[in-house]
Amino acid sequence: MIIRCGLKCDTCGTVIAVRIGMGQGVEQDHTINCIECNEPISFGMKVNYTEISTDVFAIDGCSIVETPPFGASPVINVDANFVILGDMVNKDIMFHRIIQTRRMMEAAEKFGPLAVRQFDIHAPRHPIADYLSEWKQVKKAVSLSCNGKEKLADKKVKSGSDEYYANDPLDGPTDWFFRFTLKFLGQKYNSFFHRITNEISSITNAHNCRTLIDHYATTMVKMRFQRYREIYTDFFSKYSQFSQVLFQAALGLPPSDDMVATSVQFDIVKSFYGDAFEVFAGSVDFLAMLNNVKSGREYDQFSTIDLGKYLKLDNASKFNPFSGNAVFISLCEERDNQIRNASHHKGIQIDAGGLTLRYRSGKGGSGDEQEMTYSSYLYRSVCIFFQICVLAATELVFCEAHKIDLPFD
């Protein structure tokens, strides 16, 4: 559904007709540049799924005005869950979702049928994929549990069960974190999750992993899930940007260079890829240790070095020791160290139109200038976050299988 409304720029007074593609959430925020003065304008829209109504509101740099007649003002299209073809951004009559939806359906078919969901007539009405709203509640339950407020955490989990899992109530904060993660991953990354958990099961069934299990339980799990909590929180604090490419990323459909993410807040996502790279590369030691066991060695013995030396490797090199394991390395397809360096050190710049990013490759940004679209940066950031999510979910299965204390209970 497209909601058309009028915005007036506070800086220059230009009235713009904004066409807002409704997303999978109760609220969405957007930031665009005024067509006339190029200053940022921020606005949002709330959706009431009970009354089937919408409310567009100004956030910064604009005011809501009467919707202009067709042809009476410049037009900008925005969408919570889709990028837009560049030549359609300023058209008043266009339906950018049709072609993309067809591509998404074709991609989804490759992963097999979707799981059947039971319909609960008593459950509150909300979109199935309103991930931001659910994450806020998961985050609260986990925080309460980790801070020793078990009764309040249990109360929050109970309300989450009633709202999201009435047919299969939650067992606790960790169970909620796990189920939310699998729901959020989508088909492509759920397939990664199943392949990796199967590979880990085959390793632990065929080899004695007792020393690895003990090491993980005593020195790894607590720190790792604190790190996962932090990157989840960071991602969802920037969700309005990432959601523009989220559903395509979940199916492995990168945006072409002519696809535009029209809601642009680059400053808030500039460092995300670098931060996520650090978390992901700093967490694949779990896969590396398992691969050591599969290779007939102790978990802390690599082919030429020990675990202590492995942990001192630069993050870009931490994938090499298990590069021969096709299942494990397949999860690591998004890991561009050049983008990591530019993002981590805030060395990426965006052009005035909010379309193109530029950064320099090489150590210290001393190499050739590189370009990518903003929509591509968002897509790749979402992909590396999905990879982190797969690791987190996989480790929770490992904890459950080997009776390791769950991190959030």
**41: helix, strand or coil:** strand
pLDDT tens string 323-362: 999 999 999 999 999 999 999 888 899 998 889 999 988 7
8 A C-beta contact, residue 36 and residue 9:
yes
Q: What is the pLDDT of residue 365?
A: 67
pLDDT tens string 128-139: 789 999 999 999
Strand partners of residue 46: 27, 55
pTM of the model: 0.93
pLDDT tens string 201-227: 999 999 999 999 999 999 999 999 999
8 A C-beta contact, residue 347 and residue 329:
no
Contacts 24+ apart (CB under 8 A), 393-400: 393/178, 393/181, 393/182, 393/185, 393/193, 394/193, 394/196, 394/197, 394/200, 395/221, 395/224, 395/225, 395/286, 396/174, 396/177, 396/178, 397/197, 397/200, 398/200, 398/216, 399/221
Strand partners of residue 44: 29, 57
Tell me phi and psi for residue 117, to 5 degrees: -100, 135
Percent of the chain with pLDDT over 90: 84
Query: CA of 197: how far to CAs of 6, 290, 395, 397, in Å?
Result: 50, 12, 9, 8
Tell me what percent of the chain is helix, strand and coil, each rounded to the nearest 5: 50, 15, 35
Q: Provide the residue type at 268 as one letter.
A: I
